[in-house]
Structure 1
Amino acid sequence: MTILLLGSGGREHALAWKLSQSKHCSKLFIAPGNTGTAQCGINMPFVVTDFEAIRQCCLDNEIDMVIIGPEEPLVKGLVDYLKTELDPELLLIGPSKEAAQLEGSKAYAKAFMQRHNIPTAAYQEFTKENFADGVAYLQQHALPIVLKADGLAAGKGVIISQSREEALAEFEAMIRQAKFGEASQRVVVEEFLSGIELSVFVLTDGRNYLLLPEAKDYKRIGEGDTGLNTGGMGAVSPVPFADDAFMQKVISKVVEPTIRGLEIDNLDYKGFVFFGLIKVGDEPYVIEYNCRMGDPETEVVIPRIKNDLVELLEATAKGALTNLSIEKDPRFATTIVAVSGGYPEDFQKGFEIKGLEASTADGIVFHAGTKAADGKIVTSGGRVLCATALAESLQEALAKSKAQLQQIDFEKMYYRTDIGYEFVQEKP
């Protein structure tokens, strides 16, 4: 099978690494990819939103399956476009444009959850048209107040305000001053939920699903979960507090009602569903849906899947998940992300990365923001590398991830040393 994988981050390197191991993968193309994916297949010189280039690549290379890694092309309707333009036998991993609104619009997702009785925080939504109503709502809202830009904002569209004054200022900045561009033309104001977060993933063909290993990621730039939000500084899997009893609640109260909702609403959905959850007491609540795998969670979830990934994805695309099951590696997987100095704010690129040839047993360094230049591998993004390791204990896996990064160096390199801290030590 000839496969095209779209994306360029650590998620895509992890997927490419796994896909390339399949006996069913005869040729793998990645667009645009990075220096890590180039070790797994052939990188292509076009971006994930260039629909015409994607179509032409499928024709020129007789592509059998397209796997869409990031959210933007999904929300912009790539699946619908390829279904219209190419052979109906082409296997597509990703939801339709309508179904991708579960990630593309917070308001759409909230209405979906409300309609299908899926536990989530209470909310209201506001635009320029009812701005005054929003102000009045915020003035009487309990603290803290969560404000979310409705559309895609590269993970930066969520504000947690500790005072009403701050909430009102942010509300005005989002709607009237377009703080997040078009994404904040509509703002969802949400009840604040206190608990611990985790990420749950399924593969679904729109009717059936397979539960993948769960993960917990760490968004803040600083040790002890302090500082600015990022795209993710590390992740662990499995999640120690997600025991069988809790996961059964996740399945019965969140996963199964979501899959039923897709079917009831007649949404064309074949691919990954990412449930961003929070455990409040012993109960799961949905914070958000994503319509693809998370990053850096993919870098710990994929290494724990023992199945042939191509077989799983082919069954997903063909609506034939009923007789399959996921075989999980029982070991702990951890990943620690090395980032450019200054990230998530301004940072410099183009620094040579040294020590990449170093590795440890049961470990792999996934590339995120890297590229080749003058025979060297250099930094090309904020998140640069993800050091993933597997071990019998969480502590041992984390030690292996750190050991890998200690052998790697680039100018102004930074990584958190406390990923998984709440499970192995007291919070710093």
Structure 2
Amino acid sequence: MNILLIGSGGREHALAWKLTQSKDCDQLFIAPGNAGTSGCGTNLNIGVSDFEGLKAACLEHQVGLVVVGPEEPLVKGIVDFFKADGALAHIPVIGPAAYGAQLEGSKAFAKAFMQRHNIPTAAYAEFTADNYAEGVAYLEQHDLPIVLKADGLAAGKGVLICQSREEAIAEFEQMIQHAKFGSASAKVVVEAFLDGIELSVFALTDGKNYVLLPEAKDYKRIGEGDSGLNTGGMGAVSPVPFADAAFMKMVEERIVKPTIDGFYKENIDYTGFVFFGLIKVKGEPFVIEYNCRMGDPETEVVMPRLKTDLVTLLVSAAKKELDQVKVEADARFAVTTMAVSGGYPGDYGKGFVISGHDANLPEEAVLFHAGTTEKNGSVVTAGGRVLALTAYGNTVKEAAELSRSFLGKVVFEGMYFRKDIGYEF
């Protein structure tokens, strides 16, 4: 079949790389894609939320399956758009309908869902301009530190951890009264701070059944030793050494199964990936957040470890037959290191020529493009996070050293990457 993959980042290159390994993938189209995805299929210059443009592409190229990479088109209702259009309704779309995508699109929606289904998460309260004074009073007596979350999508920047009540109240005012994160912070969720170590768990569901994909741990801070500003992710490790069988059994029984059962009980239209952002606190798992798609850069270690045919899994999800498939994972460790533009996550330049990206790599390594494009015959930078180099190894240390070593062969102006991904293992 012909497949359309929506998105343009490292996650999409990793998905494209995996999809084209399937005998069931005849042609792959990526909208809009990047310089790396062009090596897996045909890039189409269509925006991720240009639903009419995506419709035309599906009809022109006789697409039989649509895979949605980023959250924006899901929250905006691409699944609903396809189902409501007579010319498109026969094409399965991997992703939840808009109502289910609120698990990522609204922190308050996700919290209420978890509360209804007794899924362990931090205690919380939510506030808007209508009960602003009540929110200030709540903050004045809250234990420290205090977590403030913009309710809506804020490009990964809408979470603040405040060390004093004064700071929390000042930020709370900025978010609600002065739209610090635009409309995303019109509502603010205040959470108790959980102290522990984080990991990401991924499920693919058909709305009733599910399969677990390899878990991962990503590294959000720009600086080594997890210091400095938050980013979209500087690297990732899979499997996660502290997520042993006993812990993962707790995750599945207390979090994954109740979540998928919740979809079914509430008749939530959800065929696609569920990202569980978890934290391990004194040996127990808690949910920090849900995402309605795969993570980035976690996909760059999850897909290389996935031995099962991805198209088979996605078609089984579309047919509501996930109870009939099994997931097999590579036993080796995979570590990815992200190369970013100078200045990121602040202001950074674009258009710098990349060299060394086309070097021959051994079988135990693969380079994924994130923020890249092609210009005048060269591959150039086009984003903050530019490339991710994934390597396999028998230990985290071995995989991490290989990842850094191969990434060191790539050069572009201002290039920076952390040299300690996986350091605590």
State the alpha-carbon separation in 2 of the partners of residues 357 and 207 from structure 1.
Answer: 43
What is the aligned partner in structure 1 of residue 68 from structure 2? 68
What is the aligned partner in structure 2 of residue 410 from structure 1? 412
Q: Is the 8 A contact 1:101 1:108 kept in 2?
A: yes
TM-score (norm 1): 0.98
State the alpha-carbon separation in 1 of the partners of residues 330 and 218 from structure 2.
Answer: 19
What is the aligned partner in structure 2 of residue 292 from structure 1? 293
What is the aligned partner in structure 1 of residue 9 from structure 2? 9
What is the aligned partner in structure 1 of residue 158 from structure 2? 157
C-alpha displacement of 1:375: 0.7
Report SS of the residue matched to 1:124. strand
State the alpha-carbon separation in 2 of the partners of residues 405 and 322 from structure 1.
Answer: 39
State the alpha-carbon separation in 2 of the partners of residues 156 and 300 from structure 1.
Answer: 23
What is the aligned partner in structure 1 of residue 25 from structure 2? 25
Q: 1:392 aligns with which of 391, 394, 406?
A: 394
State the alpha-carbon separation in 1 of the partners of residues 280 and 375 from structure 2.
Answer: 45
What is the aligned partner in structure 1 of residue 45 from structure 2? 45
Report SS of the residue matched to 1:296. coil
In the comparison of the two structures, how many residue pairs are matched?
423
User: Letter of the aligned partner of 1:31 in structure 2?
Assistant: A
TM-score (norm 2): 0.99
Q: Is the 8 A contact 2:202 2:212 kept in 1?
A: yes
What is the aligned partner in structure 2 of residue 332 from structure 1? 333
C-alpha displacement of 1:395: 1.0
Q: Deviations over 1:315-338 (max 9, x none)?
A: 011111011110100000000000
Q: Is the 8 A contact 1:206 1:319 kept in 2?
A: yes
Q: Deviations over 1:372-412 (max 9, x none)?
A: 11111000000000000111111111111011111010000
> 1:294-373 counterparts in 2 under 5 A?
294-358=295-359, 359-373=361-375
Residues 1:57 and 2:57 are matched in the alignment? yes
What is the aligned partner in structure 1 of residue 82 from structure 2? 82
C-alpha displacement of 1:357: 2.1
State the alpha-carbon separation in 2 of the partners of residues 188 and 248 from structure 1.
Answer: 29
CA RMSD of aligned residues (A): 0.6
User: Letter of the aligned partner of 1:287 in structure 2?
Assistant: I
Report SS of the residue matched to 1:354. coil
State the alpha-carbon separation in 2 of the partners of residues 169 and 325 from structure 1.
Answer: 50
State the alpha-carbon separation in 1 of the partners of residues 409 and 186 from structure 2.
Answer: 46
Question: Which shows bigger deviation, 279-288 or 392-401?
Answer: 392-401
> 1:229-240 counterparts in 2 under 5 A?
229-240=230-241
Q: Deviations over 1:195-252 (max 9, x none)?
A: 0000000000000000100000000000000110000000000000000000000000
Q: Deviations over 1:322-370 (max 9, x none)?
A: 1111010000000000000000000000111011122233101100000
What is the aligned partner in structure 2 of residue 126 from structure 1? 127
- For structure 2, list consecutive stretches of 5 or more residues without a partner in the other structure: none
State the alpha-carbon separation in 1 of the partners of residues 88 and 296 from structure 2.
Answer: 31
State the alpha-carbon separation in 2 of the partners of residues 89 and 270 from structure 1.
Answer: 15
Q: Is the 8 A contact 1:360 1:404 kept in 2?
A: no
Report SS of the residue matched to 2:346. coil
Report SS of the residue matched to 2:412. coil
State the alpha-carbon separation in 2 of the partners of residues 351 and 285 from structure 1.
Answer: 42
> 1:133-172 counterparts in 2 under 5 A?
133-172=134-173
Question: Which shows bigger deviation, 79-88 or 312-321?
Answer: 79-88
State the alpha-carbon separation in 2 of the partners of residues 39 and 241 from structure 1.
Answer: 36
C-alpha displacement of 1:131: 0.2
State the alpha-carbon separation in 2 of the partners of residues 66 and 113 from structure 1.
Answer: 29
Q: Is the 8 A contact 1:371 1:379 kept in 2?
A: yes
User: Letter of the aligned partner of 2:319 in structure 1?
Assistant: K
Q: Is the 8 A contact 2:55 2:88 kept in 1?
A: no
Task: Report % sequence identity.
Answer: 65
Report SS of the residue matched to 2:122. coil
Report SS of the residue matched to 2:400. helix
Q: Is the 8 A contact 1:390 1:397 kept in 2?
A: yes
> 1:411-426 counterparts in 2 under 5 A?
411-423=413-425
Q: Deviations over 1:171-207 (max 9, x none)?
A: 0000000000010000000000000000000000000
User: Letter of the aligned partner of 1:299 in structure 2?
Assistant: E
Q: Is the 8 A contact 1:360 1:400 kept in 2?
A: no
What is the aligned partner in structure 1 of residue 403 from structure 2? 401
Q: Deviations over 1:254-273 (max 9, x none)?
A: 00000000011110000000
C-alpha displacement of 1:299: 0.2
- For structure 1, list consecutive stretches of 5 or more residues without a partner in the other structure: 424-428
What is the aligned partner in structure 1 of residue 376 from structure 2? 374
